[in-house]
Amino acid sequence: MNWDQVEGKWTQYKGKVKEKWGKLTDDDLDVISGKRDQLVGKLQARYGTAREEAQKQADEFVTALDGTGTTTQRTERREEKVRASHG
């Protein structure tokens, strides 16, 4: 599963997101609309989570939706780790 797929099926996944992150409001879910950056920002705001941790949680959630990680997600995670280690 990748973020484009999540965005396309957002109405199907809103309930799962709400189960995982109960502090997110219905308005938050409407704003997020399946967009990774929006979800990360809302997780930071509602839970006081660091950006890197919120990104990790969001990506793990999407991976768990179908039980497999995509090449794109693994590549993004590697790039994030490299960016984090350089500054």
Residues 3/63, Cβ–Cβ less than 8 Å: no
Tokens in use for 4? Answer: 């484009």
User: What is the average per-residue pLDDT within 17-23?
Assistant: 96
> What span, in angstroms and rounded, lies between the C-alpha atoms of 67 and 61?
10
Q: Please report, for the domain that includes residue 42, its CATH number.
A: 1.10.1470.10
What pLDDT digit, counting tens, does each position of 29-58 carry?
999 999 999 999 999 999 999 999 999 999
**What is the extent of the structural domain holding 50?**
3-85
> What span, in angstroms and rounded, lies between the C-alpha atoms of 57 and 76?
14
Over 90: is that where the pLDDT of 80 sits? no
Residue 69 pLDDT: 45
User: For the chain, what is the domain count?
Assistant: 1
